[in-house]
Structure 1
């Protein structure tokens, strides 16, 4: 039932984004995927936490850029404090979703808002509407496809923390990587590399070095599979990809195997999540019916994600070992 629930939620989210013409409609697919993949039963407080995190973070990031954009040092310090609190929240299973959503959404908003041609208010309002709609989509999915005899409301992400050194090094590693990504995307003109930016933060989800290294490999494999599926959808539809109903049907069919994998263990679930994002983002942002396909966007997505994930994994390895070495030397001194 869980795979059907995820499949329905993602398909329904896509249908709503097409029906109402939501910009950044990939959020309408990825939010149900993220929530339904983690929770076995309808849990309103958790859904409200995800919605509140999205709203609060967009307001935070927009406010910081509005008033501190022309003061780089103050902006860096303020963003650093914001990101630090998000990383600390990710260390607690009860606030993990709040911290992770804040880290991901905050980084995207800070990147988009730095470009004059981006209407950040429109982006924020679209995300708020999609976040509220996500509650209704998930509620309907749980009602139509209930979990039989399930006493578990959610599968919490438990970060293995064994000592103070582990805790400090994991928070510091996540914070350094998030801030490095912020600086790079503020300095360089990487507007089209949203997927690479998201990938940098996605591989932080385990909040451990070993987990992040494994997530980096999974992210590359899943992205490749999702890109292949996206190209297959375009090739099969051909000149008909501008037909809304056929596009929705082909997209829904392509999502099917990945939704099934989300219930087949942690490794397959992680691959499926990466594949779904690689499938959803190009086909909902770069594809323009009867004007532009998403072929080159898909190729660029894979290459940018491969480079970003590889470099991030190297930075995380260096930062993790440097921090642990410093803490151990400081303790023994």
Structure 2
């Protein structure tokens, strides 16, 4: 189970780096390398470059939109629509899926937060870039320390959840559904005061990941189940450590124990992989954002996370179902004359 060891090492080492250097939003350093390692059994520059380039480009685009168009809501909405459409089109192509998904997810989160005066877009950008470039050494060490056995047949690395277009009509429906859901999420988070709902917003795009109606419905069930599992683990860590939670070594060890089980699930592939990744993100996000040892626990943040994610996933599933029904009627497959 070398893959499980690589996943475990990547998320624990990522958390350790964020703790040592005091990175805000340290969950990026935990989850981004895991996202890569889960999709490739050996070192693969292409996947890492896709993710890093996607993060850099979308943060530059968001900074441009924020700096020049934020005072003009209508122009900003048009620019965001064009941005999201380009990412959705990229997601329909397997060779650029990770680039498109990363841009759509990070771009949506950043565009939501720039509407709040307390949000520092420069700090967010720098932290995200540092976390993105940290993918290279984290993944390199993981593959070096826990290589695949030589006798194992190496499959061509690729994206596990990438959309595989079968025809022109299917590609149009995928892009249209992704763009519609992304724009609905953008508008909702612009008009509602949901500054603490980063997890719920991310869940919208994780459910959207398969880019198909059936896949999205399956992803919704996995997301809720995995989130519950991760939230329970987060509460167990807090209750278990209690007053020792401010000890960085003990905190890291407790996280490593829980992350080991979730890494094993991710390495199993299929449904278990989605379950493990959802659980790992539910564990990492509140413990790296809301939790402050000796000052503030993450108990209520964990409860809020689960409730907001569940609500967001249910609404997203409903929106995808309605959008799918409309698209099937509007974008019809060409008739074949015999």
Q: TM-score, normalised by structure 2?
A: 0.95
1:81-127 deviation line (CA, Å, top 9, x unaligned): 11011011111111011001000110111111111111110010011
- Alignment-derived partner of residue 313 in structure 2: 309
Point out where structure 2 has 5 or more consecutive residues left out of the alignment: none
* Pairwise CA distance, 1:212: 0.3
Q: Is 322-331 or 222-231 further displaced after alignment?
A: 322-331
**Distance across 2 between alignment mates of 1:267 and 1:205:** 14
Q: Which runs of 4+ in 1 moved over 6 A?
A: 329-332
- Alignment-derived partner of residue 112 in structure 1: 113
- Alignment-derived partner of residue 146 in structure 1: 147
Match of 1:323, SS?
A: helix
1:105-153 deviation line (CA, Å, top 9, x unaligned): 1011111111111111001001101111111100010000011234234
Match of 1:328, SS?
A: coil
- Alignment-derived partner of residue 197 in structure 1: 201
Q: Is 153-162 or 195-204 further displaced after alignment?
A: 153-162
- Alignment-derived partner of residue 48 in structure 1: 49
- Alignment-derived partner of residue 68 in structure 2: 67
**Distance across 1 between alignment mates of 2:325 and 2:179:** 15
- Alignment-derived partner of residue 256 in structure 2: 252
1:196-236 deviation line (CA, Å, top 9, x unaligned): 00000111110000000000010000000000000000010
Q: Is the 2:93–2:165 contact (alpha carbons within 8 Å) kept by the matching residues of 1?
A: no
Matches within 5 A, 1:97-136: 97-136=98-137
- Alignment-derived partner of residue 80 in structure 1: 81
Q: Is the 1:41–1:150 contact (alpha carbons within 8 Å) kept by the matching residues of 2?
A: no
Q: Is the 1:286–1:293 contact (alpha carbons within 8 Å) kept by the matching residues of 2?
A: yes
Matched residue count: 332
Supply the RMSD in Å over aligned alpha carbons. Answer: 1.5
**Distance across 2 between alignment mates of 1:131 and 1:248:** 21
**Distance across 1 between alignment mates of 2:117 and 2:163:** 39
Matches within 5 A, 1:219-298: 219-298=223-302
Q: 1:154 to 1:329 in 2, by over 3 A?
A: closer
Match of 2:158, SS?
A: coil
* Pairwise CA distance, 1:44: 1.7
1:138-172 deviation line (CA, Å, top 9, x unaligned): 00100000112342341334424333222111111
- Alignment-derived partner of residue 321 in structure 1: 325
- Alignment-derived partner of residue 30 in structure 2: 29
**Distance across 2 between alignment mates of 1:159 and 1:57:** 21
Match of 2:43, SS?
A: coil
Point out where structure 1 has 5 or more consecutive residues left out of the alignment: none
Match of 2:268, SS?
A: coil
**1:209 has 2:213 as partner:** yes
Match of 2:211, SS?
A: coil
Q: Is 153-162 or 120-129 further displaced after alignment?
A: 153-162
Which of 158, 167, 172 is the aligned partner of 1:155? 158
Q: Is the 2:91–2:162 contact (alpha carbons within 8 Å) kept by the matching residues of 1?
A: no
